[in-house]
Structure 1
Amino acid sequence: MIKELPSEPWAEWVKRIILHVPDYLSYVGEPTSGGRQRKVRDIARIIRERMQIPCVILQKGVSDWKTKDADGTPVIGLNAGLRVSGDPEFGWRTRSFLRPGDAIIYMGGEDAWPFFVKGAKAYHVGVWWDGPNSSMAKWATGIRTQALFQACRSIACCDTNVINWLRTRDRKHQDSANEAVYIPNCVDLSSLNVSERMRPSTPLKIVFARRFEMKRGPFLMLDTARKLADASFEFELLMSSAEGHDGSDTIRDEARKRGIERHVKTAVNNLNSVYSVYRDADVSVVPTLWSEGTSYTAVESIAAGLPVVTTTVGGLPNLVVPGFNGYVCPPQPASIAEAILRYRDHTLWQRHHRNCLSMREAFSVEAWRDRVMDWLAS
């Protein structure tokens, strides 16, 4: 059983990298989609193609199983409790799985607590415990996250929110914060070819390209749409969920309850087809309520030239500069609607549109791969 990894740079000794995540595939090994799944897939590609060493994805399962993802990367499910109570078993079995020459990256947070492997690395997706949890649950999650960061030799974070949270801890965690690497999310620009436009559509085309989960704010989006309708504003709202997370019937029912069904359409897209959604839109709304890093939706929207109206949650303010490429609002319908209504001024929309396009290269997948590669080799 391996409890600690060598202290030398990984480029000097690592023969295989284990990506540790609670749920890359479903717990029975079926494909699913989301931001974490995309990040795990993309880092596995870097390990295989650029580092040219084997990669294995290790996750929880309802039983022990083995399979491969669409890229051919081995995925192994370990039978461990699927809730937090199963994390110790998951961490213990992970230690037993490792062999000499293996390194491990924790991709899902503190899911191996308390049996972290000392000297591992962690790619953290941001503060996710800022939702309607009990004070005790938030305290416990904070303790577990601090333990993860103390065990790891290096931490990459997709936003600065978790880094600043670390700075509120004691001195040893401030040191971890100072050593953390900020690597924002990215977009494949070759799949998102767009041209500069002179004006938005009439009616304004708004897109909500998020999973239909409470924390992503789908009902907040619908309440905002009701405010827009009350202002006699002409708009079309496309609410597009991720494949495997469809809740279109619920969204349509809720739209009818609010009397805005003529404004709202629903769709389901995968990680590739979602790009077409951005090309047809004018404004993107990311009304997150809790648990957010640097949202892929926000990054992709900016790269598509869409001004982003978002909330003061997680890493979203890392991406959107109010009055430059969108607006950052409290997670309240009236505030979000007020920001959207500003785009009745087409000159303002065009300025924000151009500013978004000027940021495309900053979020390119090539730049992201270079940053991740440097971090992996260290």
Structure 2
Amino acid sequence: MPFRPRSHRAWFLISPTWSIENSASVKTIRTYAVLHRLKNPRHSLIFLSNTQAEADLLNQSGEAAVLHNKTSTTSEHIFRPLDDVPVEFDAIYNAQLAPWKRHDLSLGIQRCAFVFYRDSSGSSTTESERARINRHRELAPHHVFINEFDGTGKPVRLAPAQVNTHLNRAAVGICLSHLEGPMFASTEYLLAGLPVVTTPNRGGRDLYLDADYSLTVPPDPRSIAEAVLALKERRIPRAHIRTQTLKRVERDRGRFIDLVNEIFLESGSSRRIAMPWPFRYPVMEWLPPQIAIDRSLSGAVDAFVTA
């Protein structure tokens, strides 16, 4: 942080965007953390892990880590049931058009919709996305890809409220990747009141799932289609799914607030924060890498600086 002397006391809350539930990732993180502290002895690094297993691995390596799934910051004010939106699809999948998202596993579903986008750091191109959509449509003509493409050939990313409207058009939300980060879409489904079908995975998306309104099935189209129909036929009240999810989300938000207050106390600040959730915007903002670097170098960080 060039804008402040290295003698300045600082705490960094670091949240991985991808699964680090393996010894190689933890070893790399540990190495960089040690090197950072050697150069900045008054800096404290605390890792916000998306799964308890990740936190345990980091703790065992000697790093400070706590469980805090980043999807707990998903807005319940945006993602919510909409009684005036009719259900048109058996399932919906909100995911970028990338091979590791395994859209083909949805082919057994009779009526499925897709909300999609292009990650700025991904390898997808206009050609690869259109080819994937065209191939999928040939195999499942009743499936609908919702987003339009702009003049440059890039998918037009929908505003969160628009995404929520489309989620409400479906009976079930699906999660099909094997390995990724915590997957915001999973929590968005739940807050909108949708039950969830997921495949076995690592990354953290299972944290808010419950056997009462979710099914974990093998990664094959038939199993997924059968699970979607099973959940659809159960007609689980959306308000119930949302209420139970919010209980878990608020528990994790409270734990995060406790952590921040401990840092305030250690720093000598008299400031404290409390529930209900006091942050209007996401705790961590998603930015293209270069913009994030430029902001950090200029001192425009996500959080606040204590006196």
Regarding TM over 0.5, the answer is yes
CA contact 1:284–1:306 (8 Å) conserved in 2: yes
* Corresponding residue of 2:142: 262
Paired residue for 2:223, among 311, 335, 351? 335
1:158 and 1:260, CA in 2 relative to 1: closer, same or farther beyond 3 A? same
* Corresponding residue of 1:237: 113
TM alignment of 1:305-316, pairs within 5 A: 305-314=193-202, 315-316=204-205
Counterpart CA distance in 2 for 1:204 and 1:254 is 20
- Give the superposed CA RMSD: 3.6
* Corresponding residue of 1:318: 207
The one-letter amino acid of 1:103's match is: A
Report whether the alignment pairs 1:103 with 2:14. Answer: no
- Matched residues, number: 237
TM alignment of 1:292-303, pairs within 5 A: 292-293=181-182, 295-303=183-191
What do residues 146-177 of structure 1 show as CA deviations (whole Å, max 9, x unaligned)? Answer: 3346655422113324124447xxxx52x64x
TM-score (norm 1): 0.52
Paired residue for 1:214, among 99, 103, 107? 99
CA contact 2:179–2:201 (8 Å) conserved in 1: yes
Counterpart CA distance in 2 for 1:354 and 1:360 is 10
Shift of 1:330: 3.3
Shift of 1:250: 2.8
What do residues 201-248 of structure 1 show as CA deviations (whole Å, max 9, x unaligned)? Answer: 3x5342111122223x2xx333322x23xxxxx423224225757754
Following superposition, which runs of at least 4 residues in structure 1 exceed 6 angstroms of deviation?
none
CA contact 1:243–1:269 (8 Å) conserved in 2: no
Counterpart CA distance in 1 for 2:251 and 2:74 is 5
CA contact 2:81–2:193 (8 Å) conserved in 1: yes
1:336 and 1:187, CA in 2 relative to 1: closer, same or farther beyond 3 A? same
Paired residue for 2:164, among 248, 254, 275? 275
Q: State the secondary structure of the residue aligned to 1:317.
A: coil
What do residues 173-211 of structure 1 show as CA deviations (whole Å, max 9, x unaligned)? Answer: 2x64xx5221222221222342569x983x534211112
The one-letter amino acid of 1:300's match is: E
TM-score (norm 2): 0.63
Counterpart CA distance in 1 for 2:21 and 2:178 is 11
Shift of 1:283: 1.2
Q: Between 184-193 and 145-154, report the one with greater CA deviation.
A: 145-154
Counterpart CA distance in 2 for 1:375 and 1:312 is 35
1:236 and 1:211, CA in 2 relative to 1: closer, same or farther beyond 3 A? closer
CA contact 1:183–1:371 (8 Å) conserved in 2: no
Identity of aligned residues (%): 14
Report whether the alignment pairs 1:158 with 2:31. Answer: no
What do residues 303-333 of structure 1 show as CA deviations (whole Å, max 9, x unaligned)? Answer: 00011111221212212123x1211223333
Unaligned runs of at least 5 residues, structure 1: 1-17, 19-95, 106-120, 131-137, 229-233
Paired residue for 2:78, among 191, 202, 206? 191
The one-letter amino acid of 1:307's match is: P
Shift of 1:143: 2.2
* Corresponding residue of 1:76: none
Counterpart CA distance in 2 for 1:301 and 1:264 is 18
Counterpart CA distance in 1 for 2:165 and 2:198 is 21
